[in-house]
């Protein structure tokens, strides 16, 4: 006989996260569906620590990215040249990666250090550093985190952010939607409707939780482990629901600009950066990610090739030249974002001093499908910067990228000695 839970389907339309009961082989259960909840806006944290991660789906040309001279006197390479004026505000690293393979299909591990296929065997799954930080400190703002990026492309959409339960965080894909998320308030009538939806969703969540607890007494050990993961997801949704309720009657900040038009993945990039800067400045969030994906359009830079096909350049000079052109554009926009944060006062320091900004990719070389020797820059955050640092990249003394994430987490005030596949603190 089917249990009521097996036949029940819940649809919560204000989607932002989904929750589905796992398949429990010991009960031959086939349970559908999802709970979804969005969180809602702003706090008041002058001088609070913030974190932004910027990822690129297809990497950068290593020969044009990495300097050859270590230390503070490193030369300005072709791709780092747009950042010359910010040298004292950033550090470039070489030799960092996660020690994993998979080419394009391992890019999702950039902020986690864990392949999705191996997540089940790890306590924290393949949660990414942004979502890990959002769990710890995200309840202080309307949005625990903002995930921005492009969908589409040959290898799928944005894969930068993943929850502890192994769910990809869908990105906000254009400036118009991001603007609405940050600045557009609901009408009084819509706010009343949302309160009713919140109450209904909480009731459904309580029912699902109770029935899942009943199931846990009837299943074998393997399925009980699946249910433990499910309960983790329920607790995550409960936190989001509570946060949305808390901010329901708090108006969003006034918009300092008109709603931007959506153009394309190239021309939209500067505005996406500007809106992320405003999200930090208004304390709407303290954690954000931005991924530049495979749907980035080189045609808008005068390049008549697809981004993905260019990444497999086969050492052809014209293809490499086009890649350097579009990669330079991406780095230029990153530099302008750092400059924008530097121009915003945050108490007695600048917003850049308060914000650790990670830049890089889960791909070392798109041409050879390698996930080693990743391009990594950390800017701001109050660190002592100005260096190009090579780290031990082989053998028992190999320094993992996740070691750096431990330091970034601690800078955010999160007490932890490990993250992902870290082997200790970076410093």
* Contact in structure between 345 and 355 (CB atoms under 8 Å): no
Helix, strand, coil tally for the chain in percent (to 5): 40, 10, 50
- Rounded Cα distance between 116 and 105, Å, is 9
Please report the pLDDT score of residue 195 as a whole number: 64
Please report the pLDDT score of residue 8 as a whole number: 38
Please report the pLDDT score of residue 307 as a whole number: 87
Alpha helix positions (H), 282-400: 307-311, 317-343, 351-354
Alpha helix positions (H), 146-220: 175-183, 188-215
Q: Is 406 helix (H, G, I), strand (E, B) or coil?
A: helix
DSSP state of 425: -
Domains of the chain, earliest start first: 1-36+187-250 (no CATH), 43-185+255-411 (3.40.720)
How close are the terminal C-alpha atoms of the chain, in Å? 58
| All residues at 6 or more sequence positions from 75 whose CB lies less than 8 Å from its CB, including other chains | 67, 68, 69
Helix (H) or strand (E) holding 409: helix 401-411
- Rounded Cα distance between 231 and 21, Å, is 9
Please report the pLDDT score of residue 136 as a whole number: 94
* Contact in structure between 387 and 89 (CB atoms under 8 Å): no
Q: Which of 39, 158, 109 is nearest to 405 (CA)?
A: 109
Please report the pLDDT score of residue 41 as a whole number: 32
Which residues on neighbouring strands pair with residue 379, listed in sequence order?
Answer: 90, 357
Q: What are the pLDDT tens digits along the chain (427 aa)?
A: 444 344 333 333 333 444 555 555 444 333 333 333 333 333 358 999 999 999 998 899 999 999 999 999 999 999 999 999 999 999 999 999 999 998 888 999 999 999 988 877 777 889 999 999 999 999 999 999 999 998 876 666 678 999 988 889 999 999 999 999 999 987 677 667 666 666 666 666 666 667 666 666 666 766 666 666 666 666 666 666 666 667 777 889 999 999 999 999 999 999 999 999 999 999 999 999 999 987 888 888 999 888 888 888 888 999 999 999 999 999 999 999 999 999 999 999 999 999 999 999 999 988 888 999 999 999 999 999 999 999 988 888 899 999 999 999 999 999 999 999 999 888 7
- Classify strands 287-292 and 345-346 as parallel, antiparallel or unpaired: unpaired
* Contact in structure between 61 and 366 (CB atoms under 8 Å): no
Please report the pLDDT score of residue 9 as a whole number: 36
- Rounded Cα distance between 349 and 48, Å, is 11
Edge-to-edge order in the sheet of strand 376-380:
146-149, 287-292, 50-56, 355-361, 376-380, 90-94, 388-390
Q: Is 345 helix (H, G, I), strand (E, B) or coil?
A: strand
């Amino acid at each position: 006989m089917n249990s009521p839970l097996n036949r029940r389907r819940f649809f919560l339309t204000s989607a932002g996260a989904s929750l589905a009961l796992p398949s429990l082989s010991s009960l031959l259960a086939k349970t559908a569906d999802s709970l979804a909840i969005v969180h809602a806006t702003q706090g008041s944290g002058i001088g609070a620590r913030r974190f932004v991660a910027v990822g690129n789906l297809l990497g950068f040309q290593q020969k044009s990215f990495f300097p050859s001279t270590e230390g503070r006197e490193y030369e300005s390479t072709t791709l780092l040249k747009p950042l010359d004026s910010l040298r004292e505000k950033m550090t470039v690293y070489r030799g960092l990666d996660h020690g994993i393979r998979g080419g394009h299909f391992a890019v999702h591990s950039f902020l986690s250090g864990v392949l999705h296929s191996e997540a089940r065997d790890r306590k924290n799954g393949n949660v990414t550093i942004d979502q890990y930080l959002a769990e710890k400190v995200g309840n202080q703002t309307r949005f625990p985190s903002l995930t921005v990026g492009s969908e589409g492309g040959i290898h799928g959409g944005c894969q930068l952010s993943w929850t502890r339960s192994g769910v990809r965080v869908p990105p906000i894909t254009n400036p118009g939607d991001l603007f609405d998320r940050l600045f557009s308030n609901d009408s009084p009538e819509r706010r009343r409707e949302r309160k009713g939806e919140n109450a209904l969703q909480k009731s459904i969540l309580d029912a699902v939780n109770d029935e899942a607890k009943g199931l846990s007494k009837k299943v074998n050990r393997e399925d009980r482990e699946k249910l433990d993961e499910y309960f983790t997801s329920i607790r995550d949704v409960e936190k989001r629901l509570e946060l949305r309720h808390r901010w329901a009657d708090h108006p969003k900040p006034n918009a300092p600009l008109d709603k931007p038009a959506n153009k394309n993945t190239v021309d939209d990039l500067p505005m996406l950066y500007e809106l992320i800067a405003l999200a930090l400045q208004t304390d709407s969030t303290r954690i954000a990610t931005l991924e530049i994906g495979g749907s980035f359009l080189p045609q808008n830079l005068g390049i008549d090739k697809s981004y993905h096909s260019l990444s497999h350049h086969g050492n052809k000079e014209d293809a490499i030249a086009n890649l350097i052109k579009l990669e330079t554009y991406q780095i230029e926009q990153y530099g302008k974002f750092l400059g924008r944060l530097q121009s915003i006062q945050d108490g007695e320091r600048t917003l850049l001093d308060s914000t650790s900004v990670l830049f890089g990719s889960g791909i070392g070389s798109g041409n050879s499908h390698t996930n080693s020797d990743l391009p990594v820059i950390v800017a701001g955050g109050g660190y002592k910067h100005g260096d190009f640092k090579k780290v031990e990249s082989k053998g028992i003394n190999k320094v993992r990228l996740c070691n750096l994430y431990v330091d970034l987490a601690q800078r955010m005030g999160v007490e932890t000695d490990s993250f992902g596949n870290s082997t200790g603190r970076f410093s």
